[in-house]
Structure 1
Amino acid sequence: MKFQDNQHFSHKHILNALKLDIGEEIDCNACENPITDPLHGCNSCHYYLHDECLNTPRSLQHICHPSHPLTLLPNPTYSSRSFSCNACGSEGNAFSFSCAHCEFDLHIHCAKLPAKILIDKHPHELNLLFNSPYKDENVVFVCDECHGTANRDNWVYYCSQCDFGTHSNCATGNLTRKEGSSSSQTRKEDLMSSTARKIEEIEAYNEAQEKLMAARLKAQISVQGRRAALDLIDGGSHRKYYYY
């Protein structure tokens, strides 16, 4: 598939159609999630976008915020240089759909969430809700995926028939970048943790095998000792001798 070079409003240089090298890991400067082919980017600035993010519309009229249209911003305009997403509650440092009048902000992937979704852990469709499904303010929403809580005004996917619900990010697998670390770094840490667990499992298995072998050897020595004692008692009458 051939892609044309693009001059995107978020970057001063032309973004060229690129292809990832095998094993290469980079994050999208728009949504902060890992990039898979195809993508556009500027290698000199290390600026890269999913093609889907590249083609995100400049404005959006979202059902969750009907009073004003949301404008696509390449960077947060707050003094902190970050924003808190009104959908998932996570911090964002890159693209957002924003309403300056209301200080309302969404990650671009949150703004595109489907109204209904199916996940492996539940047989029914989950509906997207823009706030807690519980009317009682004293009842806290607990995610059935990660078992964490959600604020009352965070978006959740919910099945009212089963009282089953998840954070929007847990249902879709969107993982926003943590402050001070990239998703690739997080994946490396997960890999190191997984490797450490495997080493511990191997060491535990080897230790168990050594204990088992020691127990067998001890049992064999005990059996041989008993046989030797019997030989001394009965003068070896139970033995069979062979003469050649």
Structure 2
Amino acid sequence: MQNAPYSSGGYICDFCDKEDTKFVYHCSCGLDFHIKCALFTFNIAENNLKELEHVPLQDPLISTENGDVELEDVSKCFGCLEPLAKYTHFSPDCGFNLHEKCAKLPFKLNHMLHREHPLVLQFNSERLSCKICLVTRRSRFVYGCSPCKIAIYVECASPSPIIEDKSHPHPFTLFPRRLPFICDACGVEGNYAAYICCTCNIIVHKECISLPCIIISKWHDHRIYHKYFLPRDFRNSDCDICHGEVNPELGCYCCSHCNITFHARCVTEDKYSYSIPSREDEDEISNESSITVLEWNDAKEATKIKHFKHMHNLMLSASVGGYENSCDGCMLPISDPFYYCSECEFFLHKACAELLRMKRVWHHTFCKQPHILISDEVFRCEMCFHITNGFAYKCSECQSRTCLRCVIALTPGARTCLKHEHPLRFYRQYEGKCNACSLYSWQAFCCKDCNFVLDVGCFSLPTQM
């Protein structure tokens, strides 16, 4: 740290995550601390919390009848970041609060995972991932070895010998030896503190014991189920989020309706992207189609339909020849296959016509509510920012709208591009140049078979102007 503090000027403290106009201490490694935060973290390391021994214990400032409900407005412990409600805690004059259990953590710890040096209770200033659970998350107190760059979360340092969870019918027993293993629940490697179910003959990470059996994810319109191994119908599948191969012998999530699979870590990495249903019918969105089929051909194709957003019947076209119109759904030029109205100028791509009336739009991160298919409105798309009057999916909570072009393009799964022979898949985290515009992109459609890349804007461009 610098010898003297300097004006914060918009810096955010790496201890309390708050920004104000007070002075901060700054380190060349990028860390910033308010003065009181810097002194507090120094005292933790040097004095083993002894500066708090004179502070009397106080009862919780706020209590709740439901101990399972996490109150957003309740102060949190600076050690474990959990709410202070219904816990006895320290409340020093400087404003820092600690659970009693966090204040009494041992200063040093000898651990089997790192025999070379004792682990010291410290502030996780470098945001290191836990050596045991391999997870990186916000946690202020860790047991670490600074020279070796090792951190172990407090709850992982002394794991429970037996854990029972409602998501699994049998208890899990701790296997405390240092032993590399592949978790049967998530498919990710572990190296210590494995938990074993002898009845089912499976070995898992501690945090994977509580993986929910059923979740409702923003990535998919149906419920998805956790499986320890995939049925034969799902073999040779790729994850619909990262597009990496899913090992059928290891745990993952899958949808029985669509034969779609997800890596367990991919679909649960963001706690705000999924929910756990408490009832059979909870949060099930309607699977109602936008069309009613009036006639079929011998190949079981719908040749005559009624779309709920158009007054006349629509016919399936045999070819695109003679039409230079655009699709009234996505506003892109008409291409095979498509439906047309014989009574007025109305056209819909087959894919646009068959979309559900309600859909989960995964890239809409603000709300968990499903989106409703709408038309006859002029709007600005929240993804591409284009103004259009085509079809859109409208969030039932915040009323924001996403155009059909963006919804279709960014729906998980392989997409075809008329200018490329292989299917393209959307990657949320990609760093490279687009083959079309040569601009640098952080999200793109990529081909797994060759080095062909299109950014979101170029992928959605019409083939003709």
Shorter-chain TM-score tier: 0.5 to 0.7
Post-superposition offset of 1:135: 4.3
Residue 239 of structure 1 is matched in structure 2 by none
What SS does the corresponding residue of 2:261 show, helix, strand or coil?
strand
Residue 41 of structure 1 is matched in structure 2 by 143
Match of 2:123 among 1, 6, 19: 19
Post-superposition offset of 1:106: 0.8
Q: Does 1:32 align with 2:128?
A: no
- 1:128-207 maps to which residues of 2 (within 5 A)? 128-132=226-230, 134-136=231-233, 139-173=235-269, 194=431, 197=432
Aligned residue type for 2:227? L
What SS does the corresponding residue of 2:240 show, helix, strand or coil?
coil
Does structure 1 retain, via aligned residues, the 8 Å contact 2:186–2:250? Answer: yes
TM-score by length of 1: 0.54
Alpha-carbon distance between aligned partners in 1 of 2:206 and 2:181, rounded to the nearest angstrom? 12
Post-superposition offset of 1:171: 1.1
Aligned residue type for 1:127? Y
Q: Does 1:4 align with 2:103?
A: yes
Aligned residue type for 1:146? C
Post-superposition offset of 1:55: 6.8
Alpha-carbon distance between aligned partners in 2 of 1:101 and 1:118, rounded to the nearest angstrom? 29
Alpha-carbon distance between aligned partners in 2 of 1:14 and 1:25, rounded to the nearest angstrom? 16
* CA spacing shift, 1:11–1:151, aligned 2, 3 Å: same
* CA spacing shift, 1:109–1:120, aligned 2, 3 Å: same
* CA spacing shift, 1:74–1:57, aligned 2, 3 Å: same
Does structure 2 retain, via aligned residues, the 8 Å contact 1:6–1:14? Answer: no
Residue 87 of structure 1 is matched in structure 2 by 185
Post-superposition offset of 1:112: 2.4
- The structure with the largest helix share of the pair is 1
Residue 96 of structure 1 is matched in structure 2 by 194
Post-superposition offset of 1:15: 5.6
Match of 2:172 among 57, 70, 74: 70
- The structure with the largest strand share of the pair is 2
* CA spacing shift, 1:75–1:172, aligned 2, 3 Å: farther
Post-superposition offset of 1:154: 1.7
Post-superposition offset of 1:9: 8.6
Post-superposition offset of 1:43: 4.2
Residue 230 of structure 1 is matched in structure 2 by none
Aligned residue type for 2:163? L
Alpha-carbon distance between aligned partners in 2 of 1:100 and 1:107, rounded to the nearest angstrom? 15
What SS does the corresponding residue of 1:53 show, helix, strand or coil?
helix
Post-superposition offset of 1:113: 1.2
Post-superposition offset of 1:97: 0.8
Alpha-carbon distance between aligned partners in 2 of 1:62 and 1:10, rounded to the nearest angstrom? 29
What SS does the corresponding residue of 2:111 show, helix, strand or coil?
coil
What SS does the corresponding residue of 1:170 show, helix, strand or coil?
helix
Residue 359 of structure 2 is matched in structure 1 by none
Alpha-carbon distance between aligned partners in 2 of 1:4 and 1:43, rounded to the nearest angstrom? 20
Aligned residue type for 1:157? Y
Alpha-carbon distance between aligned partners in 2 of 1:91 and 1:35, rounded to the nearest angstrom? 18
Aligned residue type for 2:111? H
Post-superposition offset of 1:65: 7.2
Moved more, 100-109 or 117-126: 100-109
* CA spacing shift, 1:4–1:48, aligned 2, 3 Å: farther
Superposed CA deviations along residues 16-36 of structure 1, whole A, max 9, x for unmatched, are: 3x4333xx2312122022242
Alpha-carbon distance between aligned partners in 1 of 2:161 and 2:168, rounded to the nearest angstrom? 16
Q: Does 1:58 align with 2:161?
A: yes
What SS does the corresponding residue of 1:41 show, helix, strand or coil?
strand
* CA spacing shift, 1:9–1:95, aligned 2, 3 Å: farther
Does structure 2 retain, via aligned residues, the 8 Å contact 1:39–1:49? Answer: no
Residue 177 of structure 1 is matched in structure 2 by none
Alpha-carbon distance between aligned partners in 1 of 2:190 and 2:245, rounded to the nearest angstrom? 20
TM-score by length of 2: 0.31
* CA spacing shift, 1:173–1:103, aligned 2, 3 Å: same
Residue 385 of structure 2 is matched in structure 1 by none
What SS does the corresponding residue of 2:103 show, helix, strand or coil?
coil
Does structure 2 retain, via aligned residues, the 8 Å contact 1:39–1:48? Answer: no
What SS does the corresponding residue of 1:149 show, helix, strand or coil?
coil
Post-superposition offset of 1:41: 1.3
Post-superposition offset of 1:94: 2.6
Alpha-carbon distance between aligned partners in 2 of 1:99 and 1:10, rounded to the nearest angstrom? 27
Higher relative contact order (CA 8 A, sep 6+): 1
Does structure 2 retain, via aligned residues, the 8 Å contact 1:27–1:34? Answer: yes
Post-superposition offset of 1:166: 0.7
Does structure 2 retain, via aligned residues, the 8 Å contact 1:6–1:15? Answer: no
